């Protein structure tokens, strides 16, 4: 398939490069950095939303789908960016937020003004007979997911922030309006679409409470209504356009559902983002906790999803990082003792597996979570809500802050570190969010003497040049090993073994004869293992955070 050999680079515009000197990244800033993006060899750039927005959820609260937020630039800038990337052979993927709109959006404002037609655009419900809210569901940002609708006796649903009103996809007019949005940008040359929280659009018309002990998210996530609507989206927008790449962000999804979304026969999406592997450092199901990651759970999830998606003829996005996740290197690596090794090992695990790899800005230079001293340093609404909830539960201020430092979405939203200057070469003035590690970690230094950036470029090249990596099958390897994640890729008789040591101690792995007699394709240490000499009776010892890819002999 056309997207199997692609690599996609995610740009968070607010934090990429500030061209206007106001401390906030913008579209012209991205245009100025097109040569750098092109130097990575990537095929497409996914841009987080830069549409008109009050920015209560960093642009995912859209007030106008058809206009660029003045803080980010102009429509002419957007068109120039699409063209500039296009000249480098790089496509553009836009973020489509179709589950909800800002309460400042014209549709919601007209609904508030009493227009029945627009009231049907939203989930408006009266209180229950006992006076309680329409359902007992929780907002994903904390607190109830219902708020009073103006001065009426009705409540509107917001699964996310109180300023993000969920759209009623049961209304054909809503779907028609949203499809117009996608086609508007498609007509401007956009060939990639990332659909935000797409699998929660399928709420029922008749809503019900979660029963005691029931997870309310399962009531409205991945319901049977979603697939026909995604198929309708496919038919009405991108389905007939050659070279389009689509990915759905799927919250709390399953392997079976993801196969359904991505099997080409169903004509829905090319691939999905699922997040189960990024919950292995949760205490139970609680994100806002600070516990070590569970490696065996991580390996099991990576393996089960790769095997399951493959068996169903589907495809997945392969990634560690994005704008909503703390930096993976802090979660699964050792940033103090094995910074470069951790970064490159994690990269190998993503780029050599079956699936389309995504690189989040700064990942390719080994950017880490910021080191902040107080909640005042954080901007993210979810982080502040979580801190307040933790304190209300009796968690001490210091512990609540420690937990936020581990899990805040702002960890990945700090400005791209271009150089070692005070504001990391991102801006001439104090940025909207401060960088803290730019003196050691920045593009300028990586280009001059680094090992992480060259390693990423090599991974991109290999996917482009080796059908074994782009198209090969996936087979688990050494599944019970307590510190090594391994898998075999196979294509037209070629076989590749990938081994990744997730710990800071040596790890011995038994090599089958075909690989003991093979050759090293890639290693994240300068002195790669010599298979003929270093393998004692077929045993390869991986160094701390070492990644090795071995072609069968």
Q: Among all residues, which ones are annotated catalytic?
A: 196, 249
Three-class SS state of 218: helix
Q: Residue 247 to residues 46, 164, 191, 268, 271: CA-CA distances in angstroms?
A: 10, 22, 12, 10, 5
Q: Contact, 70 vs 57, CB < 8 A?
A: no
**What gap in Å lies between CA 478 and CA 371, rounded to an integer?**
36
> Is the four-CA dihedral 100, 101, 103, 107 of positive or negative sign?
negative
- Comparing C-alpha atoms, which of 123, 115, 26 is closest to residue 68? 26
- Comparing C-alpha atoms, which of 392, 387, 388, 433 is closest to residue 406? 387
**What gap in Å lies between CA 352 and CA 350, rounded to an integer?**
6
Q: What is the DSSP letter of 281?
A: T
Paired strand residues for 520: 550
Nearest 10 degrees: CA dihedral of 234, 237, 243, 246? -50
Nearest 10 degrees: CA dihedral of 98, 99, 100, 106? 40
CA-only gyration radius of the chain, Å: 23
Q: In 352-396, where does DSSP find H-type helix?
A: 381-392
- Comparing C-alpha atoms, which of 112, 117, 110 is closest to residue 148? 112
SS (H, E, C) 44-74: EEEECCCEECCCCCCCCCCCEEEEECCCCCC
b/e per residue, 365-395, with b = 16+ CB within 10 A? bbbbbbebeebeebbbbbbbbbbeebeeeeb
What are 512's two structure tokens?
């089958």
Q: Contact, 123 vs 166, CB < 8 A?
A: yes
């Amino acid at each position: 398939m056309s997207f199997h050999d692609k690599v996609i680079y995610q740009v968070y515009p607010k934090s990429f490069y500030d061209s206007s000197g106001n401390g906030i990244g913008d579209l012209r800033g991205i245009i100025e950095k097109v040569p750098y993006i092109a130097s990575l060899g990537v095929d497409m750039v996914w841009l987080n939303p830069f549409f008109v927005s009050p920015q209560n959820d960093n642009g995912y609260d859209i007030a106008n789908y058809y206009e660029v937020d003045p803080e980010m630039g102009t429509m002419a800038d957007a068109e120039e960016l699409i063209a500039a990337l296009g000249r480098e052979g790089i496509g553009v993927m836009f973020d489509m937020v179709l589950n909800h709109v800002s309460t400042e959006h014209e549709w919601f404002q007209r609904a508030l003004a009493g227009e029945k037609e627009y009231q049907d655009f939203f989930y408006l419900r009266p209180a229950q007979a006992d006076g309680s809210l329409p359902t007992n569901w929780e907002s994903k940002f904390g607190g109830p997911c219902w708020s009073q609708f103006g001065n009426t006796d009705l409540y509107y649903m917001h699964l996310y922030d109180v300023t993000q009103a969920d759209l009623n996809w049961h209304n054909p007019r809503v779907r028609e309006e949203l499809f117009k949005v996608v086609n508007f940008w498609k007509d401007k040359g956009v060939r990639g679409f990332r659909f935000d929280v797409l699998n929660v659009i399928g709420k029922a018309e008749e809503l019900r409470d979660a029963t005691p002990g029931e997870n309310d998210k399962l009531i409205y996530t991945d319901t049977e209504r979603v697939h026909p609507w995604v198929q309708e989206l496919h038919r009405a927008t991108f389905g007939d356009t050659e070279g389009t790449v689509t990915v759905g962000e799927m919250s709390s999804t399953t392997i079976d559902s993801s196969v359904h979304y991505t099997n080409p026969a169903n004509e829905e999406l090319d691939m999905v983002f699922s997040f189960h592997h990024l919950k292995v450092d949760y205490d139970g199901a609680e994100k806002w906790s600070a516990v070590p990651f569970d490696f065996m759970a991580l390996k099991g999830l990576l393996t089960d999803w790769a095997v399951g998606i493959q068996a169903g003829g589907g495809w997945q996005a392969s990634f560690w990082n994005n704008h909503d996740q703390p930096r993976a290197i802090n979660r699964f690596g050792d940033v103090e003792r094995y910074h470069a090794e951790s970064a490159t090992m994690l990269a190998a695990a993503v780029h050599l597996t079956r699936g389309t790899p995504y690189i989040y800005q700064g990942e390719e230079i080994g950017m880490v979570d910021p080191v902040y001293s107080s909640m005042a340093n954080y901007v993210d609404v979810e982080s502040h809500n979580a801190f307040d909830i933790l304190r209300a539960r009796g968690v001490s201020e210091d512990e609540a802050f420690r937990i936020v430092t581990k899990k805040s979405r702002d960890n990945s939203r700090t400005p791209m570190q271009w150089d070692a200057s005070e504001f990391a070469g991102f801006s001439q003035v104090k940025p909207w969010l401060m960088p803290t590690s730019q003196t050691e970690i920045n593009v300028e230094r990586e280009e001059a003497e680094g090992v992480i950036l060259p390693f990423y470029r090599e991974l991109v090249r290999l996917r482009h040049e080796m059908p074994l990596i782009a198209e090969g099958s996936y087979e688990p390897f050494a599944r019970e090993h307590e510190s090594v994640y391994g898998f075999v890729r196979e294509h037209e008789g070629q076989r590749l073994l990938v081994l990744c040591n997730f710990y800071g101690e040596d790890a011995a792995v038994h090599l089958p004869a075909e690989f003991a007699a093979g050759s090293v394709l890639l290693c994240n240490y300068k002195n790669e293992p010599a298979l003929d000499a270093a393998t004692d009776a077929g045993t390869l010892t991986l160094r701390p955070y070492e990644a090795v890819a071995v072609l069968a002999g």
